Every structure is written in structure tokens, then in C-alpha cells.
Amino acid sequence: MSKLLEGRVALVTGGSRGLGRAICLALAREGADVAFNYSRSEGPANELLAELRKLTKRAWAFKVSVLDKKGLNDMVRAIDEEAGGIDILVNNAGIGQVVPLALMEEEDWDRMMSTNVKGAFLTSQAVLRTMVRAKRGRILNMSSLAGVKMMLAPVHYCAAKAALKGFTEGLAKEIARYGITVNCLAPGILDEGVAVNVPDGKKAEYISHCAMGRVGTVAEVAEVVAFVVSDRNSYMNGATIVLDGGV
């Protein structure tokens, strides 16, 4: 049976750890050549790059922030020159912070919005040029259950993840005429990533309301990502998929 992403080139932001790492590996196992960026985790990034090169013909790692517009454009240009374009973009880079609104600093709010929302905007803008030229592409924005349902989570995190849902819908409408789809995935609490900051009591409460009776795994989410960005998922556009085990 053919692999889902054979012959495709994918870029995953924030790919060196946690969910991003799982997504990179899942895409590579399905046949994609995979590039990812990271900002600090040099060791994990090098380890992931070595793993990816065992799974696929080509893999790239770039140390560049999603807030560095020039760096992003240089990264996309480098991938384009070597691979002939980017077919898939997964906007995964993001941060979390547990702090109540009353104690939140203005800098906390700005950093959350910049990394989680502006980063997706800048990366999408950089990649879209290659997708429009090819008249095809898949963009997937990684949101959160906290961005689509009322739940106890930091206000600036909820707002940023909700913004990604709106960004998805607006962009999907705008660029569908170029054969590009834009969707959004909203996982619940997972075993890795920003969920490690969730207090044990809150995690236990979540599990008590979850039909599956457990948190999800980054590997499970990554498998869904691989299908959503594949050509077998050709009609979904502007959608937000909730993946929470039934909360």
C-alpha cells in the first residue's frame, strides 16, 4: 500500500521536541521529506534530524525563530531550491504559561500572541509563495481544546489558540482558489508538550470528564496530522478538528 505522503515536502515549525517531533517522524514514516525549525534545543534537533534521515531521503533542520521574518524567508528559499517547493506546512510552534490574568504582565500577553499567532502568520506568508506557484498545498494550524471550548486554562493561551481557529477560516477562504487547503487541529491534554505545565489536580479533573479516561499521546495526534495533510483528505477546508478523547 502506498504511503500517504510519498513525494511530498513538509515543513513543521517547532519540530525538535514534544508534539512537533512526533509530527515530523509521522510525516517521514508516511514518505514525506521533512524540514523543521527550532529556536533553542540544539541537541534534540540534531537527534531528530538523524532519525529523520533514516526514514526519508531528505531532511533539514533550521535554527530560526518563527518571529524572524528574514530567517523564515531564507529557510523557505533554501528548501525550495533543494526540493522544488513545500507541499505541507504544519504551524506547530507555540508556548504555554500558567499564570492568572490578575498576575499577568503585558509582556506575557505579547509573547504568547507573538509566538502562537504571529509566528503562524509569518511562516504561512513565507511558504505560501511556493504553494501558490505550484497551485497546491496543505496548511495545518495546531490549536488546542482551550481555544475552542470553555475550560479552565490561562486566558492569554486560550485567546491565542482561539485566534488560530479564526486565522484558519479566513485563510482557507482566501486561498482555496489556488488549490490550497487550510485546516486546524485542536488536541486536548497530551502526554508531552505544553501539557506538562498542567497541575496534577487539573489533569485528573480533565481525565474524569474524558470518555477515554486518559490524556492523549503526541503519537496519536501526529497520526491524525499525517492524514489531514495528505491528498486523501482533499475536501476538508477551513475545519477545526477536536481531538480530545471525548470531553
* Positions marked catalytic: 157
Judge whether 95 and 111 are in contact, CB under 8 Å: yes
